[in-house]
């Protein structure tokens, strides 16, 4: 249940995040003691970010050739709106994020 500007929603969301993180660490320590999740998260950030910068630059340059310089703003706006959905927990809390 999503409540508008509710402290209960914030509490539930934060508690779920802490519980997931805590239980994940216990699981990894128990069943995969040599697994380093920090290394994988760092590599995903580095390679994913590099790919995004390169791909975004190429896409932006190609669109600017067709539509002109103002289209760069439209690309940034569209990318931002698209990514907000994923930043708000993959769309699960998208309605709370808009007015929270």
Whether 90 shows a pLDDT value over 60: the answer reads no
First-to-last alpha carbon distance for the chain, in angstroms, is 15
DSSP state of 48: H
Whether 3 shows a pLDDT value over 70: the answer reads no
Go through 10-48 and write b for each residue having 16 or more CB atoms within 10 A of its CB, e for each that does not: eeeeeeeeeeeeeeeeeeeeeeeeeeeeeeeeeeeeeee
Q: List pLDDT tens digits, range 9-36.
A: 777 778 887 887 778 778 888 888 888 8
Q: List pLDDT tens digits, range 49-61.
A: 899 889 888 988 8
């Amino acid at each position: 249940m999503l409540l508008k500007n509710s402290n209960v929603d914030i509490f539930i969301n934060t508690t779920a995040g802490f519980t997931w993180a805590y239980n994940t660490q216990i699981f990894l320590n128990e069943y995969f003691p040599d697994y380093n999740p920090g290394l994988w998260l760092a590599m995903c950030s580095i390679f994913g970010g590099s790919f995004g910068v390169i791909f975004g630059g190429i896409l932006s340059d190609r669109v600017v050739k067709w539509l002109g310089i103002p289209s760069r703003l439209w690309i940034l706006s569209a990318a931002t709106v698209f990514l907000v959905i994923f930043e708000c927990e993959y769309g699960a809390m998208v309605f709370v994020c808009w007015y929270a």
